[in-house]
Structure 1
Amino acid sequence: MLDTATRLFSEQGVGFTTIAQIAAAAGVTSAMVHYYFTNRDTLLDAIVDERLAPTVQFVWGPVTEASSDDPFEMVDAHIGRLFVIAEQMPWLPSLWMQDNLCEGGLLHKRMEKHLPFEKSALFIKLIKRAQRKGIVNRKIDALLLVNSLFTLVMTPLATSQFAGRFPGATTVTRPMLERHVKALVTGGMRPLDAGPRR
């Protein structure tokens, strides 16, 4: 039922998906959904706790104090893990887009308690430290970089069906997109006066 609910939420939006639709798609009765999930709020809480929250810990795993040795490697690993979860949960990019575009984002609000504020603060500190050392482009805003990484991965995946409509467009594969995002970000992180990195 959770798998069905997340799929429908990603396709239709959380606010436009009813318990009756979830039940029908899962092949059960609405009463059965209510038996396991007392109401809509309980269902949303379960999706966040059992499907979304565990991914947060996984994605932020590479961010440690030791990452200061190579901020490029830290960012590269972070992007790689975002693609891993997007592949394991193909509904996630669309669900993220749907929830963020809807006023009040019901899942976004519930995710706030799971956000890794300590990890993101460490990420920002490490990027700023690397900027002071001249390793990372000083024009980059470390805080915005946190949001940019997630957006650069999720937005193209959520809108992939539209990308093929451009003249001369080819099918965008995950490896192609991952290479593109990593090159775009790590290239932009290089100081303007730096030579090419190996």
Structure 2
Amino acid sequence: MVARTTDKPSARKPKTAGKQKAEPRRPGRPSGSANKQEQRSRLLDTAMKLFAEQGIAETPLSAIAREAGVTPALMHYYFNSRDQLLDALIDERIQPRRAALGEMFNSNARDPVTVITHVAEHLMQTCAEHPWFPALWMREIISDNGMLRQRVIERHGKVHYEGAVDRIRQWQAQGKVNPHIEPTLLFISIFGLVVVPLIASKTWNNDPMKHKFNPEDIARHAIALLARGVSVA
């Protein structure tokens, strides 16, 4: 008697209901959202550093990407153009510092020496925390050929600067500030006393008379000159 055999049904793989194939990541698109803000901030910092060292006109986006160690595609994911990058730098890096300096003229408004001392100290602190600040400000904002000067004014106006000038004129009218001080030149004078020596000090390493100077020495010197200069007595 021959035993009958029954064919076993072939094993079937279970269907994966509800699962879809993941969409491939586009080139240059950052993976995950947790580090997006950190990555963008790092690109801004790198741009500021290169702009300060070699100027905006001489620094393409590809150079910033290379310095930051990312692909040009990733750079363009965050900033489609240099104009977009410049606007971000102005809004997030430069304007907050302009506003902070301007607001100092509204605090301790009755004491001009205290206000101007705080401005000098704030400038020194900014330079210490952000080494790119002095050279970038000199190259791209104070200079007539700077690419940021007019752009900053167009985006944020001159309200803080004008407010500071008006405050100085009020102090002069009240007899609190030397009447020979030119209000529109005072900030440039503070900047020159604080920032220019910091830039020049990089060349002083071989000068035995100057190499010992540090940022605190420069700040103390600038504040002493400013306090004597704005005092009526």
- What band does the TM-score fall into relative to the shorter chain? 0.7 to 0.9
| 1:157 is aligned to 2:201 | no
Match of 1:108 in 2: 149
Contact 2:142 2:149 in 1 (8 A): no
Match of 2:68 in 1: 26
Contact 1:60 1:119 in 2 (8 A): yes
Identify if the C-alpha distance between structure 1 residues 172 and 113 changes in structure 2 by more than 3 Å, giving closer, same or farther: farther
Match of 2:77 in 1: 35
Identify if the C-alpha distance between structure 1 residues 25 and 119 changes in structure 2 by more than 3 Å, giving closer, same or farther: closer
May I ask how many residue pairs the two structures share in their alignment? 191
| 1:171 is aligned to 2:208 | no
Three-state SS of the structure 1 residue aligned to 2:48 is helix
Match of 1:76 in 2: 117
Residue 7 (structure 1) aligned to one of 45, 49, 52: 49
Higher Cα radius of gyration: 2
Please list, as runs of the form range in 1=range in 2, the aligned pairs for 1:55-70 lying within 5 A after superposition.
Answer: 55-64=97-106, 67=109, 69-70=110-111
CA distance in 1, matches of 2:100, 2:141: 22
Please list, as runs of the form range in 1=range in 2, the aligned pairs for 1:117-156 lying within 5 A after superposition.
Answer: 117-156=158-197
Higher relative CO (Cα under 8 Å, sequence separation at least 6) belongs to: 1
| 1:17 is aligned to 2:59 | yes
Contact 1:10 1:92 in 2 (8 A): yes
Three-state SS of the structure 2 residue aligned to 1:15 is coil
Stretches (4+) displaced over 6 A: none
Match of 2:14 in 1: none
Cα deviations by residue, 1:39-69 (Å, 9 ceiling, x for unpaired): 11111111111111111222222211750x2
Contact 2:107 2:115 in 1 (8 A): no
Q: 1:116: how far off?
A: 6.5
Contact 2:102 2:163 in 1 (8 A): no
For structure 1, the residue ranges without an aligned partner over 5 or more in a row are: none
CA distance in 1, matches of 2:185, 2:142: 19
Three-state SS of the structure 1 residue aligned to 2:70 is coil
Match of 2:11 in 1: none
Identify if the C-alpha distance between structure 1 residues 64 and 178 changes in structure 2 by more than 3 Å, giving closer, same or farther: same
TM-score between the two structures when normalised by the length of structure 1: 0.84
| 1:86 is aligned to 2:142 | no
| 1:182 is aligned to 2:227 | no
Q: 1:168: how far off?
A: 2.0
Aligned residue identity for 1:21: A
Worse-superposed segment, 150-159 or 24-33: 150-159
Residue 53 (structure 1) aligned to one of 95, 106, 110: 95
